Structures are given as C-alpha cells and as structure tokens.
Chains A and B, each alone.
Chain A
Amino acid sequence: MATVAADNTAVRVSGTDPMRPEIYTVRRVHRESHDTFTLTLVRRDGGGGMRFAPGQFNMLYVFGVGEVPVSISGDPADGQVLVHTIRDVGAVTAALHRLKRGGTVGVRGPYGSSWPVRDGAGQDLMIVAGGIGLAPLRPAIYHVLSHREEYGHVVILYGARTPEDLLFVHDLEEWRARFDVHAYVTVDRALGTWRGHVGVVTNLIPRTPFEPGNTTALICGPEVMMRFTALELERRGVPLNRIMVSMERNMKCAVGFCGHCQYGPDFICRDGPVFPYGRIRMILMQREI
C-alpha cells in the first residue's frame, strides 16, 4: 500500500487506491487511562500486519460514523498486529472506544513522515513526550531499544498531568529499570502517594546526560510543550535540524488533497507530521497557525 522512506521525508502512497480502507478486526482493547485506550488490530483477511516507520499514522474508519487520523503506537518490528493508542475526544474516537474484541475498523495508511531513528545512530538520543504524545514516540523507543548498541546516551522524558494520566505504565517501568537508558517521568501535580518527579517536563532536561552538539531530539506532545522543549534544547546547543517535532492538525484525506491540515507551505499529512524544528521554527512561534 505504501512505501517507507529511509529518512523522515514523506511517504509516497502507491499501489492500491489510497482512499480505500483495509478491513481490520479488533483483537484487544486495553484501557490506558480514564479517557485513553489502546486498540490492537489484525487484518480480517488473515494477512500480515502493516509495515510502517516510527512516527507514521493511519486513518481509522468506524463505518457509519467517520474517520480519524491516529498515530501507530506499536512495535514496528512486530509484523502481526497493528497498535493504536487513542484519546476519546470526539464522535469517531468515542465510537472506537465502544468497540469490543471482534469489532471492525477500516484502516488507511500508513501515512506521513517518520522519526529519523536511523539517522540518529551514533548519537545521543533525547526523546521528550507529553501526554498522549508518548504514543507516536513509542515505536521509535521500541526501535532504539532493540538497536541500543547503535546509540550513545538514550534519554526518555515523559510528562503528564497527574499520575493517573500516565500511559504505557508497564513500558515506563521497564524503561526506567534499564541501566542503559535514562528514563524519567514527571507530572504537573500529585497527591501525597506519588514519590516521583513533579514539575514540567523541561525541568528534567538539565538532570540528564547528553552532548548537545551530538544529539538528536524527538519531541511529541501539546504544541506549547513542544515549543518550550525545543527552545530549551536550542538554548543548550542541539542543532535545530536535529530537533524533530511531530505536529498535529485536523487531517481529513491524509494524502495532501483536501488542504485541511495546511501548515504554512506544508500539509501536515503529506509533509509531516514529523518535521525538523529548524524548518518550521518560524511558523511554530506564530500565533493562530
């Protein structure tokens, strides 16, 4: 259905009609938090899973309700299942939330550019996630950890509103337990039982080892959080084009036809969602774009 570019440039959809969804079946629904859940899908025709690059997204179609763009949150090396983590915020995501094992979902994709995990080999890697922004970064983390020897310091920073809002708790525990990864979690506020960090995610940056001039940074989360994180990394000397951010806009067609997700001269669906910060820095600092 699609080809995956070696770097993070946009993927060109080829072959079958890019507007026609493939039919998938829900194998598992896992509740991550009060409003966020993970769907594990398999192809209904029994075929293998989808090849994708970390950071790419699919259009998920609930028939009779509508379609939404959702990042792929599973392991890119797992060829059998397709995993998406979704926050219930609208009609289509609510319909996805109501699905049970055996339910049907239409899937178009994968679309968009990806995290340049291969280009980051030989360097320190700083991965900064906020809220549900950890979902599109999780495939990159899976890739990096399964090729751990190719990287220098690997730092994972994750911020959420409260301890109850943390996603992928099991993964977080596993990453924090590794001796070859610096993984830190922080929340904006916590009651007495929480013994971890409290404060914004950018506060964690000074506590981590990395060599700014030799670092690739991957950032995903709310736009304000990405802006402040990118500014902090820029201030510390990480090259602008090695700071990657994943943008989010209202994507409809996913192939650059409809224009809904226009972002300055780019379309997020076709030219993003992953952009080098240096390329969009001026737009990111503008209001109301």
Chain B
Amino acid sequence: METLESILASHPFFHGLEKRYLELVTGCAANVRFRAGEFLFRDGEEAHQFFILREGRVALEIFAPGHGAVTVDTYGEGEILGWSWLVPPYHWHYDAQATEPVRAIALDGRCLRGKCEEDHELGYELLKRFAHIIEQRLSATRLQLLDVYGDRRR
C-alpha cells in the first residue's frame, strides 16, 4: 500500500534525507484535494503550508488592477508549491488557483518549523532543498523577464 512516507521517500525533493527525518516530515503531512477554480492560498493570508503536487495544475497569480488576475507561473505533477511558510512573516504573496482538479500532499509549515528549531540539521537540510528550488525559479523568472521572443509592434 502506498503510504505518505513511501510517497515522500520516492519524491526527488526528499532524496537522500535520513529516514528519521523523513519520519518527522511525514508526521507533518496530509493528503489534500482541490476542485478546479478553488484557491490553495490567497495573497496576504498566513502561509502555514507547502504542497507537493501529485495531480492537476495550479496557477500562481497576481491580481493587477485594470488587468485582473495575471498568471505568472504554473505548477504540475511532482512539483513543489510554496516557500512562504519558511520565511517570516509567513504570508503568501500570490494567489494559487487550481486550474484542474488537484491532488496534493500538504506539509504543515508550523509543524515543520518547530521540528527544524529542535533539530537544526533537519532545518539545514530542508533549507538547502528549498534554496535549490528558489534558485531555479529565480533563473526562470529572469528568462521570462528577458522577453526573448522578438520585437512586439502593433
């Protein structure tokens, strides 16, 4: 049977994490589902979770007055969503809307923060893994900002 621990253990984000830490992390995990159109989180709300997406797609949006919701990124199967739980003051900076039915594992940030404070080695491990994701997303954002696809003339 597929358990939360086995699912997390097989996810690339947790590769190489010691079993005792994986057990601690699993203690903070829960399965969640969202319908299409439902928000996983909203800008300004407290950020006390991150998600490992197992199925479906989530759009990260910014509401721009005069333009409405602008999608700046999308995430799908296997991807990690959310790091605001890790950085004070623990508030979301975007809206995350399910554009398809979504199945995910939610990891409780408050629970994880407590365990990281108790064991800094676990904290450092998680921080390294999130730093890698943040670096990849920063690089991708810079590429998007380059607007490389050619001259736009109307």
Q: Which residues of A contact B (CB under 8 A)?
A: 34-35, 87-89, 130-132, 159-161, 165, 186, 188-192, 194-200, 202-203, 206-207, 221-222, 224-225, 228
Contact = CB atoms under 8 A, between A and B. Distances in A.
Given A190-B70, A206-B78, A195 B99 contact: yes
Contact of B150 (A131, A190, A198): A131
A225 B148 contact: yes
Nearest to A192: B69
**Contact size class for B?**
20 to 34
Contacts of A34: 154
B74 to A, nearest CB: 5
Interface in B44-99: 57, 59-61, 67-74, 76-78, 99
Nearest to A225: B148
B1 interface: no
Interface stretch (B103-111, B115-123, B139-147): B139-147
Contacts of B151: 35, 87, 89
Contacts of B19: none
Contacts of A221: 148-149
Interface of B: 57, 59-61, 67-74, 76-78, 99-100, 140, 143-144, 146-154
Contacts of B140: 199-200, 202-203
Given A35-B151, A195-B100, 12 more contacts: A159-B149, A165-B149, A189-B72, A190-B70, A191-B69, A191-B71, A195-B99, A199-B74, A199-B144, A207-B77, A224-B146, A225-B148
Contacts of A191: 67-71
A198 B73 contact: yes
A198 B152 contact: no
A57 to B, nearest CB: 17
B73 A132 contact: no
Which of A132, A161, A189, A199 has the most CB atoms of chain B within a 10 A radius of its CB?
A199
A222 B70 contact: no
Contacts of B60: 198
A131 B149 contact: yes
Contacts of A200: 140, 143-144
A161 B145 CA distance: 10
B71 A224 contact: no
Contacts of A228: 143
7 contacts: A89-B150, A131-B150, A159-B149, A161-B150, A192-B70, A202-B143, A206-B78
B78 A198 contact: no
Nearest to A130: B149
A224 B143 contact: yes
A6 B78 CA distance: 40
B40 to A, nearest CB: 16
By Cβ-Cβ distance, the 9 closest A-B pairs, closest first, are A131-B149, A222-B148, A192-B69, A161-B149, A198-B71, A198-B74, A200-B143, A188-B144, A190-B71
Contacts of A131: 148-150
A207 B99 CA distance: 17
Which of B67, B77, B149 has the most CB atoms of chain A within a 10 A radius of its CB?
B149
A161 B71 contact: no
Contact of B59 (A132, A160, A198): A198
A132 to B, nearest CB: 7
